[in-house]
């Protein structure tokens, strides 16, 4: 006939259950301690009033967590039971048949630290996780749940931790007694609001029994990204840019001539035209009309640098023309004159696409081009323009390319690579000053670009 449990043994069983699970509701405590629900509820409430447990609310229900006083009781009870067992052969026999559970980590053994509690959307912050094993045996950390993929992106992590679908695989990390384990994660919030980090730690003891421990919830106040972004006309590129090119940024697009480049830049212009934004286009292309037939609107300002400028630009309601790019001062004066003709409110977005940089660099050299370019970009920014500037790096030396890269706040590169025996074009964002962006490369497909 099984020995009747004392109330102190019931207290210890309940405290042990709550300690191992991290927290417990009444029903789980009832099942785990083999008690009627009303008896379990009464006992848990009693332990809470005496400071051995703490009552919390989770998902509109009452849960219980162990306190430091509860752990002290549990440790003392286990120690006394071992002393009694040494004097009681019968108890010693029962102990041999049912090994004493190891002292495992509890909620108080998890320390979470945030580098900041108030962040912006797409702004990185650090989360430090510290786990302390106060027992006498090693435990194995298996995984960490609770970082919502819809709320946060994991930007950086230790190399021995692997990001899986919905959780972090800790590769069975061993946490030795009295040797705290520390992990540093870099997270980035994806949306605004009061977001919660609800970490759940899964670990096992030496007998491979698994336990789940819930850490204290952390609240992160995330405010919206107030930076207005200019769409590129290509949704996949806007995703890499986390919404588009930041307002009033100057971005250089480096690419050799290819259909993908022309289709992409046409989409950038078309996006501005269709959204009725003030759109500047600086080009020497005498075939411009074949790209924009049916899309010519008053918000498109054409700057054509071509000997045939007079015969071509007459189709455009807003045009400025020069036959050559010989005089950089004349180009600046032409732009300045066009600024005065803008009769749109300043809150209307403005974009500029400049594809004459390579020709200017060839004719005027790196020093003069850099000086002119820096002035033009500052002027465009002050007038509210977001600028995309094209450069063909194959036309220039590495030193000349570097000279004109520096004045830009962002850089996007189109390049080609052999994939499965076929040459394909890819795009990658190389830099974007003080902005978050995705570093993934993007395959450029003509069919999608033509849509």
Phi, psi angles (nearest 5°) of residue 183: -135, 140
Gyration radius of the chain's alpha carbons: 33
Mean pLDDT of 202-227: 80
- The per-residue pLDDT of the chain, averaged, comes to 85
Contact of 265 with 237, CB cutoff 8 Å: no
- Where in the sequence of the chain do the CATH 3.40.50.300 domains occur? 229-449
Q: Looking at the predicted structure, is the pLDDT value of residue 267 above 70?
A: yes
Quote the pLDDT of residue 19: 82
List own/partner pairs for 447-450 with CB under 8 A and 24 or more apart: 448/236, 449/234, 449/260, 449/263, 449/264, 449/267, 450/263
pTM (predicted TM-score): 0.57
Mean pLDDT of 240-245: 90
Contact of 29 with 35, CB cutoff 8 Å: yes
Q: Looking at the predicted structure, is the pLDDT value of residue 146 above 90?
A: no
pLDDT in tens, 271-329: 998 899 999 999 998 666 545 545 567 888 989 898 876 766 566 777 788 889 999 99
pLDDT in tens, 40-72: 899 999 999 999 999 988 777 888 988 888 888
C-alpha atoms less than 13 angstroms from C-alpha of 134 in its C-beta half-sphere: 12
- Where in the sequence of the chain do the CATH 1.10.10.10 domains occur? 7-97
Quote the pLDDT of residue 95: 47
Q: Give the range among 73-82, 88-97, 278-287 with minimum mean pLDDT.
A: 88-97
Position 98 confidence tier, pLDDT thresholds 50, 70, 90: very low
- Class of the domain covering 107-223: mainly beta
pLDDT in tens, 101-144: 445 667 778 888 899 888 888 788 999 999 888 778 888 888 88
> What is the SS3 string spanning the chain?
CCCCCCHHHHHHHHHHHHHHHCCECHHHHHHHHCCCHHHHHHHHHHHHHCCCEEEEEECCEEEEEECHHHHHHHHHHHHHHHHHHHHCHHHHHHHHHCCCCCCCCCHHHEEEEECCCEEECCCCEEEEEEECCCCCCCEEEEEEECCCCCCEEEEECCCCCEEECCEEEEEEEEECCCCCEEEEEEEEECCCEEEEECCEEEEECCCCCEEEEECCCEEEEEECCCCCEECCCCHHHHHHCCCCEECCCEEEEECCCCHHHHHHHHHHHHHHHHCCCEEEEEECCCCHHHHHCCCCCCCEEEEEECCCHHHHHCCCCEEEEECCCCCHHHHHHHHHHHHHHCCCCCCCCEEEEECCHHHHHHHHHHHHHHHHHHHHHHHHHHCCEEEEEEECHHHCCHHHHHHHHCCCCEEEEEEEEEECCEEEEEEEEEEECCCCCCCCCEEECHHHHCC
- 7-97 has CATH 3.40.50.10580 classification: no
pLDDT in tens, 358-416: 999 999 999 999 999 999 999 999 999 999 999 999 999 999 999 999 999 999 999 99
Mean pLDDT of 151-172: 85
Alpha carbon distance 356, 334 (integer Å): 14
Contact of 218 with 185, CB cutoff 8 Å: no
- Class of the domain covering 229-449: alpha beta
- Where in the sequence of the chain do the CATH 2.60.40.10 domains occur? 107-223
């Amino acid at each position: 006939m099984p020995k009747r449990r004392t109330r102190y043994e019931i207290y210890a069983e309940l405290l042990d259950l709550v300690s191992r699970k991290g927290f417990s509701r009444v029903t789980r405590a009832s099942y785990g301690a083999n008690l009627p629900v009303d008896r379990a509820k009464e006992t848990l409430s009693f332990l809470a009033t005496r400071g051995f447990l703490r009552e919390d609310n989770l998902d509109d229900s009452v849960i219980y967590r162990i306190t430091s006083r509860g752990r002290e009781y549990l440790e003392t009870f286990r120690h006394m039971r071992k002393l009694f067992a040494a004097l009681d052969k019968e108890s010693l026999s029962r102990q041999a048949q049912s090994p004493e559970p190891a002292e495992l980590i509890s909620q108080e053994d998890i320390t979470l630290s945030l580098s900041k509690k108030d962040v912006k959307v797409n702004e990185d912050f650090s989360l430090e996780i510290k786990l302390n094993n106060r027992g006498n045996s090693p435990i194995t950390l298996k995984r960490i749940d609770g970082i919502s993929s819809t709320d946060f992106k994991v930007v950086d992590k230790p190399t021995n931790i692997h990001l899986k679908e919905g959780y972090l695989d800790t590769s069975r990390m061993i946490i030795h007694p009295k040797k705290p384990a520390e992990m540093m994660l870099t997270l980035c919030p994806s949306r605004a609001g009061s977001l919660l980090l609800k970490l759940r730690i899964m670990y096992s003891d030496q007998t491979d029994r698994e336990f789940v421990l819930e850490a204290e919830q952390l609240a992160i106040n995330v405010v919206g990204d107030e930076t207005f972004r200019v769409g590129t006309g290509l949704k996949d590129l806007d995703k890499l840019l986390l919404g588009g090119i930041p307002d009033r940024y100057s971005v250089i697009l480096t690419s050799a001539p290819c259909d993908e480049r022309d289709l992409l830049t046409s989409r950038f212009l078309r996006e501005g035209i269709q959204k009725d934004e003030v759109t500047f286009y600086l080009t020497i292309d005498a075939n411009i009309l074949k790209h924009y037939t049916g899309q010519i609107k008053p918000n498109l300002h054409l700057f054509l640098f071509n000997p045939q400028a007079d015969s071509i630009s007459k189709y455009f309601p807003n045009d400025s023309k020069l036959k050559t790019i010989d005089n950089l001062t004349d180009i600046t004066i032409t732009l300045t004159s066009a600024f005065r003709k803008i009769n749109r409110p300043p809150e209307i977005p403005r974009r500029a696409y400049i594809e004459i940089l390579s020709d200017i660099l060839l004719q005027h050299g790196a020093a003069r081009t850099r000086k002119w370019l820096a002035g033009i970009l500052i002027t465009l920014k002050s007038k509210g323009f977001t600028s995309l500037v094209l450069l063909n790096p194959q036309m220039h030396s590495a030193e000349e390319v570097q000279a004109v890269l520096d004045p830009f706040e962002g850089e996007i590169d189109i390049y080609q690579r052999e994939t499965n025996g076929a040459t394909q074009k890819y795009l990658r964002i190389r830099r974007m000053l003080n902005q978050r962006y995705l570093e993934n490369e993007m395959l450029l497909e003509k069919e999608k670009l033509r849509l």
